[in-house]
Amino acid sequence: MSNPPKSATHKRARRVKLADVATAAGVHYSTVSRVLRPGFKGRISDDVAERVRAVARELGYQPNAVASSLRTQSTRSIGLIVHDMNDPIYPPILSGIESVLSPDGYAVLVGNTGYGADAELDLVNRMAARLVDGIFLATTRLKDPAVERCVQLGIPLVSVLRQTESGTTPAVMNDCFRGMEALTSHIIDAGHRDIAAIIAPQDLSTAQERWQGVQSAMRKHGLDLPEHRIARVSRMSTEEGERATKSLLDAATEPPGVIICVNDLVAIGAIRACRLSGLDVPWDISISGYNDIPLMDMINPPLSTVHMHLDKIGKAAGEMMLEYLANPELPARTQRFKPEVILRGSLQGVHPQG
Task: Verify binding: residue 49, DNA, rule CB under 7 A.
Answer: yes
Based on its alpha-carbon atoms, the radius of gyration of the chain, rounded to whole angstroms, reads: 27
Our CB check for DNA shows the closer of 27 and 132 to be 27
Q: Is 230 helix (H, G, I), strand (E, B) or coil?
A: strand
User: What is the enclosing helix (H) or strand (E) of 68?
Assistant: helix 65-72
Residues with Cβ within 8 Å of residue 246, at least 6 apart in sequence: 273, 277
Residue 236's alpha-carbon distances to 61, 148, 196, 289, in angstroms, are 48, 25, 17, 11
Choose the stretch contacting DNA; rule: CB under 7 A; options: 35-43, 246-254, 278-286, 305-313. Answer: 35-43
Task: Verify binding: residue 166, a copy of itself, rule CB under 8 A.
Answer: no
**161 near 138, Cβ under 8 Å?**
yes
Choose the stretch contacting a copy of itself; rule: CB under 8 A; options: 121-129, 218-226, 239-247, 252-260. Answer: 121-129
Between residue 234 and residue 273, which ones bind DNA under the rule CB under 7 A? Answer: none
Task: Verify binding: residue 231, DNA, rule CB under 7 A.
Answer: no
Q: How far is the CB of 13 from DNA (least distance, A)?
A: 11
Task: Verify binding: residue 54, DNA, rule CB under 7 A.
Answer: no
C-alpha–C-alpha distance, residues 190 and 187, integer Å: 5
Task: Verify binding: residue 90, a copy of itself, rule CB under 8 A.
Answer: yes
Choose the stretch contacting a copy of itself; rule: CB under 8 A; options: 19-27, 40-48, 79-87, 208-216. Answer: 79-87
Task: Verify binding: residue 29, DNA, rule CB under 7 A.
Answer: yes
Residues with Cβ within 8 Å of residue 142, at least 6 apart in sequence: 163, 164, 165, 202, 203, 204, 205, 208
Our CB check for DNA shows the closer of 63 and 349 to be 63
Choose the stretch contacting DNA; rule: CB under 7 A; options: 26-34, 117-125, 210-218, 333-341. Answer: 26-34
C-alpha–C-alpha distance, residues 322 and 318, integer Å: 6
For residue 70, which amino acid is it? Answer: L
Q: Is 331 helix (H, G, I), strand (E, B) or coil?
A: coil
Among 23, 42, 50, 62, which residue sits at the site for a copy of itself (rule: CB under 8 A)?
62
Residue 192 DSSP one-character state: -
Among 56, 94, 171, 233, which residue sits at the site for a copy of itself (rule: CB under 8 A)?
94
Q: Which of 247, 304, 262 is nearest to 281 (CA)?
A: 304
**Terminal Cα distance for the chain, rounded:** 71
**Residues engaged in binding DNA (CB under 7 A):** 15, 17-19, 26-31, 33-34, 36-37, 42-45, 47-49, 61, 63-64, 67-68, 70-73
Provide the binding-site residues for a copy of itself, judged by CB under 8 A.
Answer: 8-13, 62-67, 69-70, 75, 77, 84-86, 88, 90-92, 94-95, 98-99, 102, 105, 107-112, 125-131, 152-155, 268, 271-272, 294-295, 298-301, 328-329
